[in-house]
Amino acid sequence: MTDSASQTGDGADSPRIVPVGDSAVLIEFGSGITVDLNTQVYSLADRIDSIANPAVTELVPTYRSLLVHYNPLEARYGEMVKLLSELIASSGDTGMSETTVAQNVVELPVVYGGEDGPDLGFVAEHAELSPEEVVAIHSGVGYRVYMIGFAPGFPYLGGLDERIACPRLKTPRISVPAGSVGIAEAQTGVYPNASPGGWQIIGRTAIPLFDVKKASPSLITPGAEVRFVPVDSHD
């Protein structure tokens, strides 16, 4: 894929617009996991937000597609496709590109290992590294929030170093504490709330990640960058 400015709305690179039932439209930019595709998703979401069309009820961005929920009593499918096609085609005119998508950085202090990260030793063994090396690799980069799903505030993060990828637990835990930081295959993530889980838990943050009393309940938002910062204690 080239950058979004080269898209005309009907070229070979134009996204696929398809219905999902009678009250949602899916705009699919591609089928892979790349920063470029994901940036196009958030860029379009921003443009739809900016026009504040009353028929649009909710936007759900994911790795490589945007689901637009709408009220068919306000606008029928044909009108929605027309509106969305125009917004997609206008991306070049508005100068929107990946650089204009705000990159919100969230730093999470993490206590690695011990009670907070019971699987750090296993992950280190699997990687044939020391636990300290695993921590240095895991905390050494920023992770893009491709999307949020599975549970309230649960981020799907991209960019885990392949050296510390690790299979899931053979038997999932009945309850993983809130704030637990884990690895599953080539993914890393953090559990906002206590929940059952099969990820290898290498650490924990004490920062509350999801609070329904806040107007913006999730500390981590779609499109943001997450950095894990090693700390010795939660104080």
- Rounded to an integer, what distance in angstroms lies between the CA atom of residue 26 and that of residue 175? 34
Among the listed ranges 62-70, 88-96, 127-135, 198-206, the one in contact with another protein (CB under 8 A) is 62-70
Rounded CA Rg of the chain:
20
Instruction: For residue 200, give every residue at least 6 positions away whose Cβ sits within 8 Å of its Cβ, in sequence order, or none.
Output: 119, 122, 123, 166, 167, 168, 169, 182, 183, 184
- Judged by beta carbon, residue 14 or residue 221, the one nearer another protein is 221
Q: Which of 150, 114, 142 minimizes the C-alpha distance to 232?
A: 114
Q: Contacting another protein (CB under 8 A), which of 4, 7, 15, 24?
A: 24
- Is 217 an interacting residue with respect to another protein (CB under 8 A)? yes
Among the listed ranges 51-59, 111-119, 159-167, 175-183, the one in contact with another protein (CB under 8 A) is 51-59
- Is 59 an interacting residue with respect to another protein (CB under 8 A)? yes
Q: Contacting another protein (CB under 8 A), which of 164, 222, 224, 226?
A: 222
- Is 218 an interacting residue with respect to another protein (CB under 8 A)? yes
Q: Contacting another protein (CB under 8 A), which of 2, 12, 22, 115?
A: 22
- Judged by beta carbon, residue 131 or residue 155, the one nearer another protein is 155
- Is 102 an interacting residue with respect to another protein (CB under 8 A)? no
- Rounded to an integer, what distance in angstroms lies between the CA atom of residue 161 and that of residue 209? 24
Q: Contacting another protein (CB under 8 A), which of 93, 128, 212, 235?
A: 212
- Rounded to an integer, what distance in angstroms lies between the CA atom of residue 108 and that of residue 153? 14
Structure tokens at 43: 């860029």
- Judged by beta carbon, residue 52 or residue 212, the one nearer another protein is 212
Q: Contacting another protein (CB under 8 A), which of 156, 191, 199, 228?
A: 156
> How many C-beta neighbours within 10 Å does residue 226 have?
22
Among the listed ranges 5-13, 56-64, 102-110, 225-233, the one in contact with another protein (CB under 8 A) is 56-64
Question: Please, is 4 exposed, middle or buried when counting C-beta atoms within 10 Å of its C-beta (0-12, 13-18, 19+)?
Answer: buried
- Rounded to an integer, what distance in angstroms lies between the CA atom of residue 163 and that of residue 124? 10
- Is 67 an interacting residue with respect to another protein (CB under 8 A)? yes
Q: What is the dihedral of CA 25, 26, 27, 31, to 10 degrees?
A: -170
Q: Contacting another protein (CB under 8 A), which of 5, 18, 35, 229?
A: 18
- Is 182 an interacting residue with respect to another protein (CB under 8 A)? no
**Amino acid identity at 86:** E
Interacting residues toward another protein by CB under 8 A:
18-24, 26, 28, 31-33, 57-65, 67, 69, 72-73, 76-77, 147-154, 156, 193, 210, 212, 217-218, 221-222
